């Protein structure tokens, strides 16, 4: 899943693709590099970000989705809003990637239920401007707590009419998580497998990688974390993660080629 941020303020590439033309060109480039899915988002969810107006988000994503669907792409819309999800599906998107798992706008579940779209539900506790206040996972620890809270979301999603076979779950790396929480979740994805849904993991360029690679207490720059991410991609692929949400599709494809070569030799 290649990321196309049609935003002025995303943490990784805000402003680079904030016009329809530049976003479509970037999406086409990611397709050429081997992306299976393009995830189009019009709202930054970096820590501290403020939300755009609904009209702004619609204006950002719908023309891009329409163009890229017309180019033959399988498109996902990255949104927490029912209005945006509905407009995106009307424009040809086939996946709704909701970082709030239906908590920010419960109406989004009815939109998905009334379509044939797949739905990605991420572990989420609060909007970007407040999520740093929700990193306490006592007494059960982050793995068991995330499993329980994702399980609660899955029950609500099914109750809204979205069948389990159309749902993917995302542990929400970096969202209301301290750096160590992310590594604990990555090391225990088998616990989340118990929920019975495919898993999507989005670790690309995130701050916990910058913290891991810090020098002199200074985190590694956002655009210099790809080597560590490629190593993580290979490990996640070997483990059988179903979907990887990434910025650098070429580097990801290279890592997956290594995994495929090892698997074919073993077979």
Segments of the chain scoring below 70 in pLDDT: 9-14, 266-267
Separation CA 170–CA 118 (nearest Å): 13
Separation CA 23–CA 66 (nearest Å): 12
Residue 76 belongs to what H/E stretch?
strand 75-78
Backbone angles phi, psi at 63, to 5 degrees: -60, -35
Q: Which two tokens stand for residue 174?
A: 């970096």
Specify the pLDDT at position 106: 98
Beta carbons within 10 angstroms of residue 92's beta carbon: 17
Question: Rounded to whole angstroms, what are the CA distances from 227 to 22, 24, 166?
Answer: 26, 26, 32
Just list the catalytic residues.
206, 245
11-41 pLDDT, tens digit each: 666 678 889 999 999 999 999 999 999 999 9
b or e along 38-71 (b: 16 or more beta carbons within 10 Å of the residue's beta carbon)? Answer: bbbbbbbbbeebebbebeebbebbbbbbbbbbee
Specify the pLDDT at position 131: 94
DSSP H helices in the chain? 20-33, 54-70, 82-90, 107-113, 142-159, 179-187, 189-193, 207-212, 226-239, 249-266
Domains along the chain? 2-265 (3.20.20.20)
Helix axes 20-33, 249-266, angle to 10 degrees: 20
Separation CA 253–CA 34 (nearest Å): 7
Q: Which two tokens stand for residue 88?
A: 């995106």
Specify the pLDDT at position 76: 98
218-264 pLDDT, tens digit each: 999 999 999 999 999 999 999 999 999 999 999 999 999 999 999 99
Specify the pLDDT at position 266: 67
């Amino acid at each position: 899943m290649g990321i196309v941020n049609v935003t002025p303020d995303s943490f990784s590439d805000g402003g680079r693709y904030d016009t329809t033309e530049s976003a479509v060109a970037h999406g086409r480039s990611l397709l050429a590099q081997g992306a299976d899915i393009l995830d189009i988002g019009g709202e930054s969810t970096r820590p501290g970000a403020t939300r755009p107006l609904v009209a702004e988000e619609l204006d950002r994503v719908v023309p891009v989705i329409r163009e890229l669907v017309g180019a033959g792409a399988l498109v996902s819309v990255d949104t927490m809003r029912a209005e945006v999800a509905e407009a995106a599906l009307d424009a040809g998107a086939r996946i709704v990637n909701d970082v709030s798992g239906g908590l920010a706008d419960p109406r989004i579940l009815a939109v998905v239920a009334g379509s044939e779209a797949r739905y990605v539900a991420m572990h989420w506790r609060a909007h970007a401007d407040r999520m740093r206040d929700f990193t306490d996972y006592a007494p059960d620890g982050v793995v068991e707590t995330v499993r329980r809270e994702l399980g609660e979301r899955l029950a609500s999603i099914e109750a809204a009419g979205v069948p389990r076979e159309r749902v993917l779950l995302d542990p929400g790396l970096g969202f209301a998580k301290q750096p160590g929480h992310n590594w604990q979740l990555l090391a225990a994805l088998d616990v989340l497998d118990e929920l019975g849904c495919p898993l999507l993991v989005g670790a690309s360029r995130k701050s916990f990688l910058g913290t891991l690679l810090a020098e002199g207490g200074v985190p590694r720059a956002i655009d210099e974390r790809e080597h560590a991410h490629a190593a993580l991609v290979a490990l996640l692929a070997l483990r059988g993660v179903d979907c990887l949400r990434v910025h650098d599709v070429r580097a990801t494809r290279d890592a997956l080629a290594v995994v495929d070569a090892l698997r074919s030799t073993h077979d």
